[in-house]
Amino acid sequence: MPTALQNAIQTGFLETEFHSGLTSAIGYREIADREPVSINVGETVTKTRAGLKAPVTTPLTPSGNTNLDNGITASSQTIEQYVLGIDQYGDSIDLNVVTSQVGIANQFLLNARTNGVQARQSLDRIARNALFAGYLGGNTRVRTTLGAPALTINVDDVRGFEGAGKLSGG
């Protein structure tokens, strides 16, 4: 290892550049709920949690306020179920030591920062895709209307239906 690189590592320059690259400010990862899980890479776990109740946007009518329940109909909260998995992602950047020695800018620092920016953007992109998939899951539209009953139908999005079991009619 070149002496110049040893000094950079010992004084934390490369680590500082890498971490400064991690401050790439994109927000999807920040709005996602964080949940600790005790699984290993490649494993998945199914989680269940209480969801939200639907918002009430219709006012009560005075004429409905006659019983002990004040005209309010009870409702229940939804249940959310989702699957979490731990995966590893990786990439690298080549460094030509000869070019780095004769270049104007320190290529080691530039590469460390570039890797940090890429790592942060990758995490944010993964969070964005997971949030959108959860939001759009189960919301699909029929592409073409059937003229008669059929066993299959063409839809525009299958997110949320991938793990659904086979349904049988009664």
Give the up-direction half-sphere exposure of residue 128: CA atoms within 13 A in the CB hemisphere.
9
With 0.95 as the threshold, say if the pTM is over it. no
pLDDT digits (tens, 9 = 90+) for 100-136: 666 666 777 788 888 888 888 888 888 888 877 767 7
Return the domain boundaries, the chain.
3-51+79-136
Q: Are 86 and 126 in contact (CB under 8 A)?
A: no
* Cross-strand bridge partners of residue 142: 155
Burial tier of 114 (Cβ tally within 10 Å: 0-12, 13-18, 19+): middle
CA distance 89 to 154: 34
pLDDT in tens, the chain (170 residues): 667 666 655 566 667 766 666 665 667 777 777 778 888 888 888 888 888 888 889 888 877 777 777 778 888 888 888 788 888 888 988 877 666 666 666 777 788 888 888 888 888 888 888 877 767 766 777 888 888 888 888 888 777 666 544 444 43
The pLDDT, as a whole number, for residue 4 is 63
* Structure token digits, residue 9: 């590592």
Encoded amino acid at 71, one letter: G
CA distance 90 to 139: 32
* Structure token digits, residue 7: 């000094």
